[in-house]
Amino acid sequence: MKSHFELEDALFIGFCATLLVVLKSMLRLKLGLSGHSMFLMTFFYLLCYGAVGRVGCITACGLLAGIVAMMLSVGKGGPLILLKFGLPAVAMDLTLLMIAGVFKLRWQCVIVALIGCLAWASKGWVENMLAGMTHQIALTKFALNFLQGGVFAIGAALIVPTVLRRLQSHDLLQDHHKQYK
């Protein structure tokens, strides 16, 4: 990962965060499937990581998306929407600190996506516990959320390397020598 941070990086992070919130608010998918929001979230976070390649870029993207969503009243949760976007982002960034460069990009994306999903499901678990749900039901709900969110997150994670390769072939990524495999 590179150590410096440039204007282009900031613009791309802002672009990913804005597009994530805008798409989420425009589509308003009522699929009735818990966890489908993990698809867009994972996709944009990992795209941001792949394109910017700097520690903290996912967190920045997540917090920015959370702030924009909070200001525009997108999704459920009021101010807690910041946590919804921010928590998985922080978890993904922390994971990348440990596994960056260890695996191939595809596996790295899958692992990071699952950790992000775990953080997202944990947030729901804590909320349920605070609401007075029993341990057993809260845990079952957590497992179900993780499972459903995980399917969407892995789907998004598998797309990201292809998108990055396409961006690289169009000369749109700064790290021109990196191989996105």
Partner 1 sequence: MNLIELKGIHFGYDTHQVAILDDLHLSVNHGECHCISGATGCGKSSLLHLIAGELSRPFEGEMIRHPALMVGLVMQDPNVQVLRQSVGAEIAFALENLGTPSVKMLEKVQQALRRVGLYISIDTPVDVLSLGQKYRLMLAAQLVFEPNLLLLDEPWTQLDNHGVQELYFVLKSLLSDGVAIVMVEHHPQAFGTLISHLWQLEQGKLVAGLYLPSVPREHKLNVTAAKATTSESCAEERVRISPHRFQFTGRETLFRCANTLSLAAGEIVALVGDNGSGKSSLLKALAGIQADIGQLPFSVLGKRPKLGIYGPNLSLLLQRPNRQLFEQTVLTEMQFSLRRFKLPLTRAEQMLAQLSLMGLAAASPHKLSYGQQHIIALASLACLTPKVLLLDDPFAGLDSVHCEKVWQLLLQLRQQGCAILLSSHREMSLDDVDRVWHIESGFLLDRSESMEQSYAG
CA angle 161, 96, 114 (to 5 degrees): 70
178 binds partner 1 (CB under 8 A): no
The binder of partner 1 chosen from 171, 173, 175, 181 (CB under 8 A) = 171
181 binds partner 1 (CB under 8 A): no
The CA-atom distances, in angstroms, between 32 and each of 29, 41, 165, 169 are 8, 18, 33, 38
- Which of these segments, 10-18, 92-100, 126-134, 169-177, binds partner 1 (CB under 8 A)? 169-177
Q: Which of residues 136-165 bind partner 1 (CB under 8 A)?
A: 165
166 binds partner 1 (CB under 8 A): yes
Dist. CA 115–CA 81, nearest whole Å: 19
Judged by CB, which is closer to partner 1: 106, or 141?
106
- 69, burial (CB in 10 Å: exposed 0-12, middle 13-18, buried 19+): buried
Dist. CA 74–CA 27, nearest whole Å: 11
Interface residues with partner 1 (CB under 8 A) are: 8, 165-166, 168-171, 174, 176-177
